Amino acid sequence: MIGLSRHFSLRRLRTLIIKEMILLRRDRITFAMMIGVPLMQLMLFGFAINSDPKGLPAALVASTQDQFTRAMVTALENTGYYHFTHVGITATEAEFLISRGDVSFVVTVPSDFGTRVLRKDHPQILIEADATDPSVASGAISTLGTVAADALLRETGGEAEAAARAEGQLSVIVYRRYNPEGITQYNIVPGLLGVTLQMTMVMMTAMALTREIERGTMENLLSMPVTPVEVMLGKVLPYFAVGAVQVTVVLTVAKLVFHVPFLGSMVLLLAGVGLFVMALVILGYLISTVARTQMQAMQLTFFYFLPSLLLSGFMFPFRGMPGWAQTLGELLPLTHFLRLIRAIMLKGAEFPAVAQNLATLALFVLVFASLALMRFRRTLD
């Protein structure tokens, strides 16, 4: 019998294959990952990712709306890069909008702009660009000078003049705010704090309950006189110490190695980090109430991590994605944390500018906690 068992047998092989197929069919989460992950990658990379964003929101600060100002605004919008969502606002309002990230550009037209155009007295306009993400502003800035100058030439009847004269007639002053030199590390390194926290916090807490089930210690936990809230807090709060270490390491390296500026309030940043970490650990706990094994917990974590990385604005410009992808991105805690940390570190934003992001992170905490408590099982059945 032993000698016969060493020979290759198609019958035994078929039996083993059938056994594995049955196990795969029973493991619905793994089967869903095999189908869902490739489809998700195709959809995201095929439709949602765009490294040259168009239709970027812009604000216009102009005391007068003469024909030359309107012609210039129309020409900028016709490039496809600019979409003037706020027109005729004050400089203070525009400052608040760009610090909060509601607009990517602020176009300021002097009050004597039209008079200087008619006199050919070298009129000037100021365009302030939010350069916290250098890749977002580069394409739009490259079209500014020629487009605006050509628009004024057409408006003044000078279409036949040379391009060189067009450049001389209008001066477009571009000010890349928050990152004048276009240093990529200023955008990437603060975002890495959110990505690192998300990758570790969600995965570790997602395996909290599943580890208890696999080791057979869940019965002891359920027999204790504890409430679901106490179980959840007991599982997630210890990971705050890990998160604190990661925050300290990333911020220290960002300052000492990459020389990323820190212009805002540390208290405000720590408040945002605290809400973000709380949302992540509770999300991981929620995943652990769905998964039955540690492998399933890791699979579900990866299924969440991939779209969060791609749709949050960390790897690709958020405004370059189509509307449906931006809607999905708004449902991810990482999206709001990236806006918050970049605004505080690079822009020196104060509480009013980041209040919306803080409130959204707090809402994530409440929603995830409610779902986790609803999913908590008092028995192993």
Q: Could you tell me if 280 and 202 are in contact, meaning their C-beta atoms sit under 8 angstroms apart?
A: yes
pLDDT (0 to 100) of residue 164: 42
User: From CA 347, how far away is CA 106, in angstroms rounded?
Assistant: 15
pLDDT (0 to 100) of residue 166: 46
Q: Could you tell me if 185 and 163 are in contact, meaning their C-beta atoms sit under 8 angstroms apart?
A: no
pLDDT (0 to 100) of residue 222: 67
The superfamily (CATH) of domain 56-177 is abc type-2 transporter like domain (3.40.1710.10)
What amino acid is encoded at 220 in this protein? Answer: N
Instruction: Give me the DSSP letters along 30-49.
Output: HHHHHHHHHHHHHHIIIII-
Confidence band, pLDDT 50/70/90 cuts, at residue 288: confident
**What integer best gives the mean pLDDT of the chain?**
81
Burial category of 236 from C-beta neighbours within 10 Å (exposed 0-12, middle 13-18, buried 19 and up):
buried
Residue-wise pLDDT tens digits, 55-100:
889 999 988 777 878 887 888 888 888 889 998 889 999 999 999 9
Domain map (residue ranges) of the chain: 56-177, 185-375
Number of other residues whose CB lies within 10 A of the CB of residue 332: 20
Q: Strand order of the sheet with strand 171-177?
A: 82-87, 56-62, 105-109, 124-130, 171-177
Residue-wise pLDDT tens digits, 9-18:
788 778 877 8
Kindly state the average pLDDT of the residues 117-144.
78
Residue-wise pLDDT tens digits, 222-235:
677 777 787 778 87
Residue-wise pLDDT tens digits, 132-178:
888 777 767 766 656 665 665 566 555 445 444 444 467 788 888 89
Check pLDDT > 50 for residue 300: yes
